[in-house]
Structure formats: C-alpha cells, structure tokens
C-alpha cells in the first residue's frame, strides 16, 4: 500500500466533525459527549457577509429549541489568543443574526471540544479585557466516560443487525476511540470499533461509519493501524462494488483511447471491431468516437 492512497486533508478531523454536526437537527447535539442542552431547532450558517480568510469563521452554530444559540468549536491545538478568536466569532454571529425575525432573544453559549492530546491545564477559557468578558465551556474528549453506553449500542446491533441508529448513537460510536489518553489506547479502541461496526447489516451505513471513523482517528494511528482499517474498508461489499465500477469505467476509457488511435492509424476493420466488442461500446458511442476522430 502506498502513502498516497491514505492521504487525507490536514484539517480532516475538523471537517468531519462539522459534517456530523449538520445532521443534528431535532436531536441533542452534544449528548454523546455528556453535555446537556435543548434539542437543535436549526443548524445555522456560520458564513459571514464580508470577506474573511478561508478558515476564519466559527465551526458550528445551533439554534436550540429553547431559542438560545450553541456555538461549538473543535480544537486539536491550543494557542495564546484562542479565546479572543472565539469571542470574535460570537460577536460576528450576533451581527449576522441580530435582525433575524425568527430569533426572539440572543443568548449564546460557547463549547469548545478539545482533541485527546490536549490537557485541561493548558487551556484558558476566559477572555476578559474589562469592557468585554467572554467565557466558554471546555469539553475534553479524553475525560468523557461512555463505555457502558457504547456497549449498549453495540449489543443492540448484535441483537438486530438491521437496527437503525440515531445520529446521536452514531456520534458516540465514532467518538469512542477519542475518549482516551494516548495514541496506543486510541488505536486499540479504533480497531475494536471497526470490528464492532461490521455487525451492521446495511453495507452503506457500515462503510460510511468506518470511513468517517478512519478520518477522525487517522492522525493518532500507527502505520499498521491505518492499514488495518483501510483493509477493512476495502473488504466491504459496497466498496468492492465501487472499486469494480471505477475499474470498469477506467478500462472503458483506455479502450476508447486505443480505439481512437486504431481508427486514426487506419487499422483493419477486424481490429477495430475487436476493440469495440472488448469495450462493449454501443452504436451511439461508436458514432461519437468516429465524430471525435473526424473533428480532431
């Protein structure tokens, strides 16, 4: 296996968590992390109406059913001026929605979810310059205890592999390896979760969960751990079907290129017909290829 086949964007963890957040309408958004809020009424856009740098915007903003705002950030590092940046996001978001007729009051709560490598002692949760006071609630993944709840979900799957999981349950499954200190423990639990996920009968769901898990934990895995999860993904029926589909598509593209060259080079009709048959080209496709040759 080559490194390129497992290459993932450096912000993958943040990106995946944002995508997971978008599915939480009507649910408790941070229940999997033991943080209680009202249910999500709406997942709001954090895009701002003026130009800012590419990543200079809040990660997630929920409008909850109690009409308060929940602002969530995902952090894999700690920097000196993080609290100033988060406070700025809240002010920007207030400015974006202050004239929105749907919203009767403005009460913001900020929660920052910290990756397993970050310790509580390294974090400052308050920005206070007198005229402006801002604070957020820190959630440390390595402090979350959800082993019993995880076992309940997996037992439910084993009892009925066709069971439909809620997005809250999926989030708990996906975060389970990150409720650890240290890469060794994260990798051990990640491989355990991958094994447990295979009990699900829905091939599409199984592939989605395994792929999302890989994206979330990849940076904490050894090379061997990455390969084990990647092999599990490749062995899934739905993934094999897609690989076969891509192979067939690429094979047809190559045969089309060979057929074009054969026509251009004046090969025998027998050779041309052999390529047409091998590529399973229909009449309209063959006509289109001849037009391409004529117009080239």
Per-residue pLDDT of the chain (296 residues; tens, 9 = 90+): 344 444 444 455 666 777 777 778 888 888 888 889 999 988 888 776 554 444 567 888 998 999 899 999 999 899 989 999 999 999 999 888 888 887 877 899 999 999 999 999 999 999 999 999 999 999 999 999 899 999 999 999 999 999 999 988 999 999 999 999 899 999 999 999 999 998 998 888 888 888 888 888 888 999 999 888 888 777 766 555 554 555 566 777 778 888 888 888 888 888 888 888 888 889 888 888 898 888 86
Provide the domain limits for residue 255: 240-295
Q: In whole angstroms, give the CA distance from residue 45 to residue 58.
A: 9
- The answer on 171 and 116 residing in a single domain is no
Give the pLDDT confidence score for residue 1 in this predicted structure.
39
- The answer on 206 and 266 residing in a single domain is no
- The answer on 130 and 27 residing in a single domain is yes
Do residues 139 and 98 touch, judged by C-beta distance below 8 A? no
Do residues 213 and 171 touch, judged by C-beta distance below 8 A? no
Final residue of a domain: which of 79, 109, 142? 142
In a domain, 196, yes or no: yes
| Other CB atoms within 10 A of residue 180 CB | 20
In a domain, 2, yes or no: no
Regarding pTM above 0.95, the answer is no
Do residues 222 and 183 touch, judged by C-beta distance below 8 A? yes
- The answer on 289 and 179 residing in a single domain is no
3-state secondary structure of 130: coil
């Amino acid at each position: 296996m080559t490194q390129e086949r497992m290459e993932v964007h450096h912000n993958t963890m943040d990106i995946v968590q944002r995508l997971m957040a978008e599915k939480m309408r009507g649910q408790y958004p941070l229940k999997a992390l033991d943080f209680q809020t009202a249910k999500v009424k709406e997942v709001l856009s954090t895009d701002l109406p003026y130009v800012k740098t590419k990543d200079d915007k809040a990660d997630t903003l929920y409008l909850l059913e109690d009409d308060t705002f929940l602002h969530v950030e995902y952090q894999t590092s700690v920097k000196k001026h993080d609290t100033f940046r988060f406070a700025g996001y809240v002010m920007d978001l207030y400015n974006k929605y202050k004239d929105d007729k749907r919203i009767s009051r403005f009460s913001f709560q900020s929660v920052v979810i910290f990756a397993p490598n970050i310790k509580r002692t390294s974090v400052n949760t308050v920005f206070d310059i007198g005229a402006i006071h801002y604070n957020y609630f820190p959630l440390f993944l390595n402090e979350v205890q959800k082993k019993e709840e995880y076992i309940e979900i997996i037992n439910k799957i084993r009892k009925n592999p066709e069971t439909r999981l809620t997005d809250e349950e999926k989030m708990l499954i996906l975060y389970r390896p990150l409720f650890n200190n240290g890469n060794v423990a994260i990798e051990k639990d990640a491989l355990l979760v991958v094994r447990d996920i295979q009990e699900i009968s829905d091939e599409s769901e199984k592939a989605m969960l395994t792929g999302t898990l890989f994206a979330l934990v990849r940076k904490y895995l050894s090379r061997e751990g990455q390969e084990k999860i990647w092999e599990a993904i490749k062995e899934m029926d739905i993934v094999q079907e897609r690989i076969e589909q891509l192979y067939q598509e690429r094979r047809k593209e190559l045969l089309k290129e060979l057929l074009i060259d054969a026509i251009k080079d004046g090969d025998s009709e027998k050779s041309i017909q052999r390529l047409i048959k091998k590529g399973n080209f229909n009449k309209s496709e063959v006509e289109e290829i001849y037009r391409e040759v004529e117009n080239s």
